[in-house]
Structure 1
Amino acid sequence: MKIHQKWHVAYHGTEADTVKPILDANMFLLPGDVILGGKKLEQREEHTGEHDDEFDTKKIFVSPSIKYVEQKSYAKSVSWKDDRTSKNYDAKVAFQLWIRPGSYEVHGQTLVEGSKRIDKYFRNDSLEWFTKERPATVLYGLLIKLDRK
Structure 2
Amino acid sequence: MCLLENLARRFIESLNLPYGLLKRDGHTCYCEECTSYYGSAGFADYNYPADWYFFRVNVRVPPGKTLEEISNTWDLCFHGTEVAALESVLRLGLKIPGETDFYGRPISELPGHIQEKNGPPGFDTKRIFVSPSLWYSGSNSYARPRCYKSKKSGVTYLVKVALMVRICPGAYIVSGSTMETWFTFGLDVWGYPKDNIEWSTKQRESVVITGLLVKFERYYSIGIHQNN
TM above 0.5, yes or no, is yes
Whether 1:76 and 2:144 are equivalent positions in the alignment is yes
Q: Which residue is 1:117 aligned to?
A: 188
Aligned-residue sequence identity (percent) comes to 33
Which range moved further: 29-38 or 90-99?
A: 29-38
Q: Which residue is 2:124 aligned to?
A: 56
Work out which of the residue numbers 4, 22, 33 in structure 1 matches 2:99.
Answer: 33
Contact 2:113–2:178 (8 Å) recurs in 1: no
Point out which structure has higher relative CO (alpha carbons under 8 A, 6+ apart): 1
Q: Partners of 1:70 and 1:92 in 2: how far apart?
A: 7
Could you list the runs of 5+ residues in structure 2 that have no partner in the other structure? 1-65, 220-228
Q: Which residue is 2:83 aligned to?
A: 16
Q: Which residue is 1:108 aligned to?
A: 176
Tell me the TM-score normalised to structure 2 length.
0.60
Select the structure that is richer in helix: 2
Q: Partners of 1:61 and 1:115 in 2: how far apart?
A: 18
- What code does the residue aligned with 1:16 have? V
Work out which of the residue numbers 140, 148, 164 in structure 2 matches 1:96.
Answer: 164
Which range moved further: 40-49 or 5-14?
A: 40-49
Q: CA deviation at 1:68?
A: 0.5
Contact 2:88–2:103 (8 Å) recurs in 1: no
When residues 119 and 83 of structure 1 are mapped into structure 2, their CA distance, relative to the original with a 3 A threshold, is same
- Please identify the structure whose Cα radius of gyration is greater: 2
Q: CA deviation at 1:109?
A: 2.4
Q: Partners of 2:134 and 2:96 in 1: how far apart?
A: 21
Contact 2:129–2:198 (8 Å) recurs in 1: yes
Q: Which residue is 1:4 aligned to?
A: 71
Q: Partners of 1:60 and 1:144 in 2: how far apart?
A: 21
Q: Which segments of structure 1 move beyond 6 Å, counting only runs of 4 or more?
A: none
Q: Partners of 1:43 and 1:83 in 2: how far apart?
A: 34
- What code does the residue aligned with 1:136 have? S
Q: Which residue is 1:144 aligned to?
A: 214
Q: CA deviation at 1:139?
A: 0.5
Give the alignment's Cα RMSD to 1 decimal.
1.8
Residues 113-133 of structure 1: CA deviation (Å, up to 9, x unaligned): 54543222x111110100000
Contact 2:82–2:160 (8 Å) recurs in 1: yes
Which range moved further: 110-119 or 35-44?
A: 110-119
- What code does the residue aligned with 1:32 have? G
Residues 49-77 of structure 1: CA deviation (Å, up to 9, x unaligned): 46236321110000000000122221111
Contact 2:114–2:178 (8 Å) recurs in 1: no
When residues 58 and 124 of structure 1 are mapped into structure 2, their CA distance, relative to the original with a 3 A threshold, is same
Tell me the TM-score normalised to structure 1 length.
0.89
State how many pairs are aligned: 147
- What code does the residue aligned with 2:95 have? L
Q: Partners of 1:110 and 1:87 in 2: how far apart?
A: 35
Q: Which residue is 1:67 aligned to?
A: 135
Q: Partners of 1:37 and 1:16 in 2: how far apart?
A: 15
SS in 2 for 1:4: helix
Could you list the runs of 5+ residues in structure 1 that have no partner in the other structure? none
Q: Partners of 1:65 and 1:109 in 2: how far apart?
A: 12
Q: Partners of 1:40 and 1:92 in 2: how far apart?
A: 22
